């Protein structure tokens, strides 16, 4: 396996995936790279279900368009805040208009003390090999929600998600990959793919 399709056109996710998987010599392709337009309804109740919906939709779209199968992986991730009963969870991407997620979250947590601002990022990845066989890997990152947005390197909820004394948006990409939920899930995918590179 020398090529792997990531079911996304998100430049940030692609960059992270390529950085982590590059030592395996696998070329990670976006949907745009293979001219596939696929945006399935992610109506699963869990991150795993949504990742599976995306991976299967892209896998089938490739087969329909090119008459052959390619290995595909898809991720679904989100923020689970304890003070919000685990929300926004699977609705993280739809929680607020793009660019306003942090502001809404800070507003909802106004007055909540530090000890109750615990949260975690969760990422689930579903990998389908050329035959359609499925594997799942997961990653989590524990942290807390800060009281203000800090940093310019991240996206989504990164500016308010604090690990140690830094927000995700204050970390370098190397620091973030070392602790992030997607980094943990991608490293688990790396280990899974190590045994499949020569298949």
CATH of residue 17's domain is 3.90.950.10
The answer to the question of residue 9 being in a domain is yes
Average pLDDT of adjacent 10-residue blocks, the chain of 199 residues: 90 88 94 94 95 97 96 96 97 93 97 97 97 97 98 92 96 88 92 81
What pLDDT sits at residue 60? 97
CA dist 95 and 102 (Å) reads: 10
Which residues does 104 contact at the CB level (< 8 Å), separation at least 6? 95, 96
**Which pLDDT score, from 0 to 100, does residue 12 have?**
81
Domain span at residue 34? 3-194
Catalytic (active-site) positions: 76
Surface-to-core class of residue 132, CB atoms within 10 Å of its CB (0-12 exposed, 13-18 middle, 19+ buried): middle
Q: Is cis: bond before 122, omega within 30 of 0? A: no
Does 199 reside within a domain? Answer: no
Strands 118-128 and 87-88: unpaired
Domain total of the chain: 1
Residue 147 domain flag: yes
Tokens read off for 91: 């609705």
User: Would you state the pLDDT for residue 173?
Assistant: 83
């Amino acid at each position: 396996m020398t090529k792997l399709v990531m079911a996304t056109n998100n430049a940030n996710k692609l960059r992270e995936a390529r950085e982590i998987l590059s030592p395996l010599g696998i070329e990670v392709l976006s949907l745009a790279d293979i001219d596939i337009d696929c945006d399935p309804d992610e109506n699963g109740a869990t991150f795993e279900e949504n990742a599976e919906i995306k991976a299967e939709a892209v896998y089938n779209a490739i087969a329909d368009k090119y008459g052959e199968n390619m290995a595909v992986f898809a991720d679904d991730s989100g923020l689970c805040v304890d003070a919000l009963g685990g929300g926004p969870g699977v609705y993280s991407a739809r929680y607020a208009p793009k660019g306003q997620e942090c502001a809404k979250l800070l507003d909802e947590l106004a007055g909540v003390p530090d000890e109750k601002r615990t949260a975690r990022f969760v990422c689930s990845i579903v990998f389908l090999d050329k035959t359609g066989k499925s594997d799942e890997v997961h990653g989590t990152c524990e942290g807390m929600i800060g009281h203000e947005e800090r940093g310019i390197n991240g996206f989504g909820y990164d500016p308010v998600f604090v690990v140690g004394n830094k927000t995700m948006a204050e970390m370098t990409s190397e620091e973030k990959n070392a602790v992030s939920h997607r980094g943990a899930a991608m490293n688990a995918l790396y280990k899974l793919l190590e045994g499949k590179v020569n298949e």
